[in-house]
Amino acid sequence: MFELFENREQAGRALAAALAHHRNDPDLLVMGLARGGMPVAAPIARELGAELDVLIIRKIRAPGHPELAIGAVGPDRVRVLNDDIIAHLGISATALVHATHKAREELAEREQRYRLHRPASPVKGRTVLIVDDGLATGASLEAAIAWAREAKAGKVIAATPVAAAEAHQRLEKKVEEFVTLKTPWDFQAVSRWYRVFDQTSDDEVAALLEQLGPLATDKPGNDVGHRNCH
């Protein structure tokens, strides 16, 4: 029987140990993929003494097959597509435009909900550590990596407790470092690798940003910066 992670926080602590060589890097920015990546990313940010921010990626759902991702969108109009699946399903250009638009609307709504008065953390020239709770197809992480490149990150690191072997092999070539604790071929689903895999709420994401994320800009006397992560 394979060993399970207890929950996202425990998985994050285990990942933090594997990322210890990045501790106290002044250029490090830990970014959790909303929503499930944030409880994994928070203990990493604490352990490494780094700022935490949220990265919102929305999957583009196949028309008529909402459980199937055909790509993903990220901030700044970044989009990645799985051309093989799109061709296999015979999705028209018009249907793809509509599906992309819906994903962008979801992204904008969630961005508004989490950000409030907090600016996004600056990325240019920094070491950006992108964290998720698991990697199945890799569509979300691929969009996140593309966004970080567009934003001119100095280095991009990916970290996830468990990654499907196929997705790991494909995406590790796109980053400077890819840290994962399990890369099974028989992946099935992210939830299979956790004892407790409750849905992460918007309130949890907002609370983690309040503790470890960029400071709100409307508070008197606050310089834009980050909180003490220790």
Mean pLDDT of the chain: 89
Q: Is residue 178 domain-resident?
A: yes
Q: What CATH number does residue 143 fall under?
A: 3.40.50.2020
Q: Is residue 222 domain-resident?
A: no
71: β partners? 60, 81
Pairing of strands 28-33, 127-131: parallel
Q: Is residue 227 domain-resident?
A: no
Residue 98 has phi, psi (to 5 degrees) of -65, -45
Cα gap 47→66, rounded to integer Å: 37
Using the predicted structure, report yes or no on whether residue 98 has a pLDDT greater than 70: yes
Q: Is residue 137 domain-resident?
A: yes
Q: Which two tokens mark 177?
A: 């470092």
Measured torsion, CA atoms of residues 41, 129, 165, 196, in degrees rounded to the nearest 10: 0
Query: What is the reported pTM?
Result: 0.85
Q: Could you read off the pLDDT of 107-164 as tens digits, one per residue?
A: 999 888 887 767 888 999 999 999 999 999 898 999 999 999 989 999 999 999 999 9
Q: Is residue 184 domain-resident?
A: yes
Instruction: Give the chain's domain count.
Output: 1
Crossing angle of helices 37-48/202-212, nearest 10°? 10
Domain range for 187 is 8-56+116-212
